[in-house]
């Protein structure tokens, strides 16, 4: 991995209101040099507004922004020296690939003699060697995305902002580009702040993921910790594939689900309104002793083939609906009972995740 040369970004109490509508509500966040942080949330969560404030395109109603210790809250976009990749790429159709990539160098009045080598070197990094003279209309969606990325990188910024740059690509290409971006970030060492509404995309690429909801920062952590240690029912339901079931607290390590006691590895939160976040991949089919795991039993309602996996829908004795995901290879399929048949499941205490229910 390249030595981190990225910019430290400090966001302090950043807010933005449009009349009575609060788009961003006192968000504070520190991003380390060379870190890849995704801003994740549903539409209207404030993630694009925050990215706009970082880029200088949106003026905050309150708070401050610092890059490398320098206050840039009111610095115009062209003086922030930030690379930006937009959702629609914003390429110039009348320019060639090379001219598009060289545009930031021209705008910054870099010596023309240096343009050719820097453009060639940057295009090589995104696997577009030899594309300098091609027209934008001759490129596929994935190639246009690479050109937009090269244009953001060519002047070697310490900070790159990305606003859902993969959303227009088909699923297979989008997933391939996620891995490419992750590997490219490791080579560059630049700080990247990335906006997305796709939780799998955020988990795949990021060092940390910041989850926003209704303009507020709900939780920020490593992808694995967000998945296994959600702060509340919103995060638990938004990250991964979880069913949220109401439970009652028995003590600090035990809850009751539909009359069945379940032991947790972590302390049960205080409060009366709690849910169990059952992640589909954490439920295990049982054919013998549970060996300290929590036991659940129900009836199979349906089995849905989804390519590499099967999703099994079931109901517990009290009618509560639940699902689990199993690999679709022969051995796994053979173990799944048919529709209408009883099914025995288990859940490790470490995977028995209980969180407070979030309103709304």
What is the CATH classification number for the domain harbouring 303? 2.40.50.140
Asked whether the predicted pLDDT for residue 89 surpasses 80, the reply is no
Same domain? For 205 and 292 the reply is no
119, two tokens: 């453009």
217 vs 28: CA distance, rounded Å: 8
Pair (81, 217) in one structural domain:
yes
Would you say residue 163 lies in a domain? yes
Predicted confidence (pLDDT) at residue 161 exceeds the cutoff of 70:
yes
pLDDT of residue 71: 97
Quote the domain boundaries for residue 248: 229-356
Q: Could you give the CA distance from residue 288 to residue 111 in angstroms, rounded to a whole number?
A: 73
Residue 250 or residue 126, greater confidence: 250
Q: Residues 6 or more apart from 218 whose CB is under 8 A from it? A: 211, 212, 231, 232, 234, 235
- Measure the N-to-C terminal CA separation of the chain; round to a whole number of Å: 42
End residue of a domain, out of 227, 260, 284 = 227
**197 and 233 together in one domain:** no
Same domain, 29 and 92: yes
Beta carbons of 152 and 160 less than 8 angstroms apart:
yes
Question: Cα(6)–Cα(34) distance, rounded to whole angstroms?
Answer: 4
What is the model's pTM? 0.88
Q: Which of 284, 286, 288, 296 is nearest to 327 (CA)?
A: 284
For the cut 70, the answer to whether the pLDDT of residue 2 exceeds it is: no
Classify residue 352: in a domain, yes or no.
Answer: yes
More confident residue, 194 or 165: 194
More confident residue, 123 or 240: 123
Q: By mean pLDDT, which of 25-34, 189-198, 330-339 is the weakest? A: 330-339
Domain tally, the chain: 2
Of the residues 172, 200, 227, the one at which a domain ends: 227
**Does the residue 135 lie in any domain?**
yes
Residue 1 included in any domain:
no
Dist CA 286 CA 178 (whole Å): 36
Is residue 3 over pLDDT 60? no
CATH classification at residue 219:
3.40.50.300
Are residues 191 and 42 part of one domain?
yes
């Amino acid at each position: 991995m390249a030595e981190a040369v990225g910019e430290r970004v400090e966001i302090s109490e950043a807010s933005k209101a449009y009349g009575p509508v609060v788009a961003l509500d006192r968000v504070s966040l520190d991003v380390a040099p060379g870190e890849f942080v995704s801003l994740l949330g549903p539409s209207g969560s404030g993630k694009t507004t925050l990215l706009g404030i970082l880029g200088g395109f949106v003026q905050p109603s309150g708070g401050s922004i610092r890059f490398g210790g320098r206050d840039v809250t009111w610095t115009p976009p062209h003086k922030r020296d930030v690379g930006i990749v937009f959702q629609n790429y914003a390429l110039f159709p009348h320019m060639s690939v090379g001219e598009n990539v060289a545009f930031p160098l021209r705008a910054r009045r870099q010596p023309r003699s240096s343009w050719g080598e820097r453009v060639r070197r940057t295009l090589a990094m995104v696997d577009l060697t030899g594309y300098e003279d091609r027209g934008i209309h001759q490129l596929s969606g994935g190639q246009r995305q690479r050109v937009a990325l090269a244009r953001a990188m060519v002047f070697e910024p310490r900070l790159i902002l990305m606003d859902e740059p993969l959303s227009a690509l088909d699923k297979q290409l989008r997933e391939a580009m996620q891995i490419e971006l992750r590997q490219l970030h490791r080579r560059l060492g630049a700080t990247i702040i990335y906006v997305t509404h796709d939780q799998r995309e955020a988990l795949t690429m990021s060092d940390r993921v910041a989850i926003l909801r209704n303009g507020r920062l709900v939780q920020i952590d490593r992808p694995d910790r967000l998945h296994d240690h959600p702060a509340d029912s919103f995060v638990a339901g938004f990250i991964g594939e979880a069913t949220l079931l109401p439970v009652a607290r028995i003590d600090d390590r035990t809850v009751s689900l539909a009359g069945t006691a379940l032991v947790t590895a972590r302390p049960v939160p205080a409060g009366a309104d709690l849910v169990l976040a059952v992640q589909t991949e954490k439920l295990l089919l049982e054919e013998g002793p549970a060996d300290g795991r929590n036991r659940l039993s129900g009836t199979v309602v349906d089995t849905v083939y989804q390519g590499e996996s099967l999703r099994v829908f079931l109901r517990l004795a009290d009618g509560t609906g639940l699902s689990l995901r199993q690999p679709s290879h022969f051995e796994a399929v053979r173990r799944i009972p048919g529709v209408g048949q009883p099914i025995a499941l288990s859940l490790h205490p470490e995977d028995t995740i209980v969180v407070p229910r979030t309103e709304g």
